Amino acid sequence: MLFLKEMPFLTKKFTFCAAHQYGHKEWTEEKNTKIFGADARMHGHNYDLEVTVTGPINEETGFVADLGLLKKIVNEKVINIIDHSTIEKDISWFANRQPSTELMVIWIWEQIEPALTNDIKLIRIRLRETPTIYTDYYGPRNE
């Protein structure tokens, strides 16, 4: 078997639209606006999601992963849930969390990683919120 550093990384891109609003219910509107600025108002984004995986190359197909299966997993576990949602209202995981990309990538990882086959390893989730802002997540720390 190849060492991890010798295995190619395969990235599949997905897109979705979702709305969110930063703030705390127990704070005043003024405090929420002071801390979160314009993002204290409901607003939305056209997100780009990149899912990067690796594994041994299948000698018969030449592929690291079955892209059809990866697409099915991401669509079922993430896209079909988050697309056209109000994140903090429609996804229970966010009920007491801010719908930031920093937390969204963790939620996305937790949805995808358990559904992958044993020979495929999730390497990175990248979530682009705007053309100039994105968050990368490489999974939970194993300490």
CA 11 to chain centre: 13
Give dist(CA 43, CA 18) in Å, integer.
Answer: 9
Give dist(CA 83, CA 118) in Å, integer.
Answer: 28
The 10s digit of each residue's pLDDT in 86-140 is 999 999 999 999 999 999 999 999 999 999 988 999 999 999 999 999 999 999 9
Q: What φ, ψ does residue 56 adopt, rounded to 5°? A: -70, 145
Model pTM?
A: 0.92
Encoded amino acid at 50, one letter = E
Give the start-end residues of each E strand in the chain.
9-20, 43-54, 85-86, 121-130, 133-137
Confidence of residue 3 (pLDDT cuts 50, 70, 90): very low
Report DSSP state, residue 79: I
The label of the residue with tokens 């990866």 reads: 70
Pick the closest to residue 108 from 83, 89, 84, 130 (CA basis).
83
What is the average per-residue pLDDT within 27-56?
A: 96
**Average model confidence (pLDDT) across the chain:** 93
